[in-house]
Each structure stands twice: as C-alpha cells, then as structure tokens.
Structure 1
C-alpha cells in the first residue's frame, strides 16, 4: 500500500512563485508611483483635491480610508466578541452552530448585495432620521463595512477561543468557576494576541474594500468632522479616476494611492502573522 508523502519541492516552488509575484507587484506599483512622488510638478501629499485648479492632493482620501476603517472596526469589535462569546456560553449547541453558520454565510455574500441593500434601506433611513445631508456618508459606509468585516473577525476569534475554552472548562468548573467566569478571567486574557490580530485583519479588510465606500460614502474628497458628511476613500478614488486620461496628474494619483494601500496591506499582514506566531502572552 502506497503511503501519501508530502511534496516539499512542489510546495517550495509554489511558495517561491507566490513570493516572486508579490515582489513583482510591489516593483510594478513602485515603478509607476515613485516618479509621481519624486518628479511630478504637482505635489500629492496635500489636503486639497481640486483638479480644476491644478491641485491633486490625496491626503483627504488617506484620511477618509482611515476614518471609515477605524469606525467600522469600532462597530465590529464588540459585535464580533459578543457573537463569539455567545457561541461559547449558550447552553443549546444547535443555537451556537446556527450562529456560526449564519456568520460563515455572511462571508459569502457579495459586497454588491450589501451595497444595494444599503442604498434602498440604510441611506434613506439615515437621511430621514438625521435630516442632515443626503445619507451618503461616512456613517453609512462604516455601518456596512462593519458587517463586511464581522465574519473574518468572528472566525478568527472563535478558532482561538473555542479550543482554549474546551481545554480549561473542566478544570475551571472543578474550582467553582462558571462558564462566564472561565471566559472572562481565563480565556480572554490568553487571547489578547488573537483579538489584536482579528482587529488588524478587520481593519485591512475595511481599508481594502472598494465597492461599499464608492456606493455609500458620497465620494467627496474632503476632510470631515461629522459622520454624516460625505468622504472619499483611496480605493474609491482609484476606481473613479482610472478612466481618466493616461499620463495626466489625476491619472497618476492612482499609482500613489495604490502604493499606499499596498504598503499598508503588507504591514498589517506581517504584523498579524508576527502576533499569531508569537504565542500567547
């Protein structure tokens, strides 16, 4: 009977190919983006985006991406932790399985479905409730992005917390701990790295999404002090200017935006992997 043996050479070759492709992506984006930063007559690192006046600053889009991602993360974190805790503490296993199944199904819903639902339900609700603005706002985009990043955060938290809960439950019960106390005092302190990693993954997913900010945020390249104002993110900016004339300053700004997004994604991915490999504190 033949035994199944691993194929280290094939695995190593595929890993090397992936690394080469990622490196080629960085080189390609950098090749087009660095001249825009270094030799362009128009500075991109300003807060003024007015093409009719020759101003092509992308910092409002950088700020918009950061704001919408942070706000979505603030909304999703307690929901993710609450859903994970519910699945661990509920006394009916079928109910916990149902919650996990629904969360997994949410991960498979196309982004455009969330966007369409928000256009017909959330945007009119915000417009009529607050009587300020058009409803296309930072708040609308953040609310839907929080639903988008929720499944990946719940999945990561559940994969780290559930085995630990099962491992500690019997010993904790013998010492008089309830399940809620076990989760609060024994499991959560050991899962701080997992919670940070889940937050980083959720933040990266929110920053990298294009369709929801483009459909819901209003696409106004401005700094805002209100969650009801319109904003534009880097990803939406790339989608909006990619059809402009090649070689123009407006068109060149998408390479700078792409380099910023690619660098941020790399930093978040490497940080998450370092946290997960570092073990529990």
Structure 2
C-alpha cells in the first residue's frame, strides 16, 4: 500500500509534466513565471497568480502565527480557570468546520467590514482573504503548538515558577526553546495549507488576474486560477498553463513535506531528561 501510494503521487506529477511538456519544449515555461495574464493579446503568464498566492498566504501567516502561539500558551498551562479547556474544545471544533462555511462567513461579515475600513473597492481583496485564511489555518497551528508545549517536562515550568518567572518569561525562555521542533513543523504544515487552499481565495480574494499593488487590491491565487480557467481547446497554451500552476503547487507542497520530515516530530520528553 505504501508503494502504491507513492506510485499514485508520482503518477500525478508525471501527468502534469507530460501535459505541460510543450511549454518546456518551446522554452516558454520560464517566461510564464514573469509575464502577466493577458489572453486577448496571447500572453498567458501566471506571475500575478504567483504574487497573489504569496501575498495572501504570507499575510495569513503573519496574523495566524502570533494568534496561534498565544492560544497554545494559554491552553498549555499559562491560562487560569476554565479558559484553557474552553479554548482547547473551541479549537478542536473549528478544525471540523468546512472551508466553505468560513468563505460564506467572510462574504457576509468580513468583506463589508474591510470595505468600510478601506473606503474604496468592493472588499474582495488580499486583506479579506488573508484574514479569513488566518482563521482557517490557526487551529492547525494551535494543535501542533499545544502538543509541542505538552512535551516539555513540567519540572522546567515548576523550576521557573520557583524562581518567580512570569507567564511571558516561561513562554519565551522555557516553552519555545524546548518545543521549537514542533513549532516549526506546525508553521510549515500551515504554510502548505495556506498555499494550497482554494475556496477562501476563490470566494473572497476578488479573482482579478492582475498584479496586485496593495492589500486592498483584488488578487487571484494559483489554486483559484486552476479552478476558474476553462479552455475549450485542449492543445491551447491557455490550457497548458494550468499544468504549470499545478507543478508549482506540487513542488511547493513537496518542499513543505520534506521540511517537516527533516525537522522531525515533536521532541520526546525523554530526550530532555537525558540531556
């Protein structure tokens, strides 16, 4: 089964390479990465989609990482009373909510707020998509961070309490240094999900195939571009560009998986005790 799974994965990548081979044979693959998308002029560059993907995914990570780190710290013992248990249940509940539900909530709640704040545009922009995507990927990071903090020996925190350390000091000098492997793994996997998400960008980002210049500009991601472009001619260059997008996304996802495996799973507490 493991060999079959690997074979299917490689076959999918080979399928995309074969159908995108004319781009490489004609030396057009690199030009697609830097040219704009202008079908009327026969230019099918995917540079705006690459920039849109980076902008939306980057903004979501900038918002989600500190939010997830704070929630994980509260769940892992820095919170008091019933707050940690409530947050933990809430995060687990959020992981089961379908992405399309987040998208509808963003359309009716977040987009009007962004439109009023910006004072221009429709509200379907990079900012709306990035904030909504941050809410989507935050539960994944929180669970990874929580597991990483739970692997830190409790004796370390008890010693810090005995020395009069504040919650912030315990987080910065005890939890984070000891749990860095799990923290990085959570960020890497969340990055992969942010780059590969389709519905949030498709519903909230505006889907403008133009180079964005500000957070309030609409944008289109690679995944949304694949979902939106429908070419009648199988052999057209427009159709081939979809497989270039697929190869880029595939390579990005593969890189994320390799980085996660290289970093390793959450450190075993026995390693710290042995040290």
Q: Give the TM-score, by structure 2 length.
A: 0.90
Kindly tell me: are residues 31 and 15 of structure 1, through their superposed partners in 2, closer, same or farther at Cα, counting changes over 3 Å? same
Aligned counterparts of 1:115 and 1:134: Cα–Cα separation in 2: 16
Matched residue SS, 1:46: coil
**Pairwise CA distance, 1:278:** 9.4
**Pairwise CA distance, 1:133:** 1.1
For each residue in 1:87-110, what CA deviation from the matched residue of structure 2 results, as whole angstroms up to 9, or x when unmatched? 121122x32111011111111111
Gaps of 5+ in 1: 1-13
In the alignment, structure 1 residue 34 sits paired with structure 2 residue 21: yes
| 8 Å contact kept, 2:38–2:44 | yes
Kindly tell me: are residues 111 and 141 of structure 1, through their superposed partners in 2, closer, same or farther at Cα, counting changes over 3 Å? same
In the alignment, structure 1 residue 45 sits paired with structure 2 residue 30: no
Q: Which residue of 1 aligns with 2:206?
A: 218
Kindly tell me: are residues 248 and 192 of structure 1, through their superposed partners in 2, closer, same or farther at Cα, counting changes over 3 Å? same
Aligned counterparts of 2:153 and 2:79: Cα–Cα separation in 1: 13
**Pairwise CA distance, 1:171:** 3.5
How many residues align? The count is 267
Kindly tell me: are residues 116 and 172 of structure 1, through their superposed partners in 2, closer, same or farther at Cα, counting changes over 3 Å? same
Kindly tell me: are residues 174 and 128 of structure 1, through their superposed partners in 2, closer, same or farther at Cα, counting changes over 3 Å? closer
Aligned counterparts of 2:240 and 2:38: Cα–Cα separation in 1: 15
Corresponding residue to 1:99 among 87, 100, 110: 87
Corresponding residue to 2:197 among 209, 221, 236: 209
Q: Which residue of 1 aligns with 2:233?
A: 245
Aligned counterparts of 1:41 and 1:90: Cα–Cα separation in 2: 55
Aligned counterparts of 2:207 and 2:27: Cα–Cα separation in 1: 25
**Pairwise CA distance, 1:243:** 5.6
| 8 Å contact kept, 2:182–2:265 | no
In the alignment, structure 1 residue 125 sits paired with structure 2 residue 118: no
Corresponding residue to 2:102 among 99, 114, 119: 114
Kindly tell me: are residues 23 and 35 of structure 1, through their superposed partners in 2, closer, same or farther at Cα, counting changes over 3 Å? same
Kindly tell me: are residues 47 and 259 of structure 1, through their superposed partners in 2, closer, same or farther at Cα, counting changes over 3 Å? same
RMSD: 2.1
**Pairwise CA distance, 1:233:** 0.4
Aligned counterparts of 1:206 and 1:160: Cα–Cα separation in 2: 21
| 8 Å contact kept, 1:37–1:256 | no
**Pairwise CA distance, 1:246:** 2.2
Map 1:229-268; keep pairs closer than 5 Å: 229-242=217-230, 244-268=232-256
Q: Which residue of 2 aligns with 1:135?
A: 123
Matched residue SS, 2:80: coil
| 8 Å contact kept, 1:165–1:183 | no
**Pairwise CA distance, 1:175:** 4.3
Aligned counterparts of 1:278 and 1:112: Cα–Cα separation in 2: 31
Aligned counterparts of 1:270 and 1:173: Cα–Cα separation in 2: 38
Q: Which residue of 1 aligns with 2:61?
A: 73
Aligned counterparts of 1:263 and 1:135: Cα–Cα separation in 2: 32
Aligned counterparts of 1:124 and 1:174: Cα–Cα separation in 2: 50
